[in-house]
Amino acid sequence: MLQELVHARNAATAERTALANRLAASQATFLRKELRGRLKSLEGHIERLETEIAARIAADPALARRYEILLSIPGVGPGVAANLLADLAELGSLDRHAIATLAGVAPFADDSGDTVGQRHIKGGRASPRRALYWAALSASRHNPDLSAFYKRLVECGKKPKLALTAVMRKLVILANTLLKENRLWVDHCA
Q: What pLDDT was estimated at residue 88? A: 93
CB 127 within 8 A of CB 5: no
For residue 69, the one-letter residue type is I
* Cα–Cα–Cα angle for 40, 44, 45, rounded to 5 degrees: 115
Strand partners, 173: none
Residues 22-44: tens digit of each pLDDT: 999 999 999 999 999 999 999 99
Question: Would you say residue 16 has pLDDT above 60?
Answer: yes
Q: Could you read off the pLDDT of 170-182 as tens digits, one per residue? A: 999 999 999 999 9
Over residues 87-143, the pLDDT tens digits come to: 999 999 999 999 998 898 887 666 667 767 677 677 788 889 999 999 999 999 988
Neighbours of 27 (CB within 10 A): 6
3-class SS letters over the chain: CHHHHHHHHHHHHHHHHHHHHHHHHCCCHHHHHHHHHHHHHHHHHHHHHHHHHHHHHHHCHHHHHHHHHHHCCCCCCHHHHHHHHHHCCCCCCCCHHHHHHHHCCCEECCCECCECCCCEECCCCHHHHHHHHHHHHHHHHHCHHHHHHHHHHHHCCCCHHHHHHHHHHHHHHHHHHHHHHCCCCCCCCC
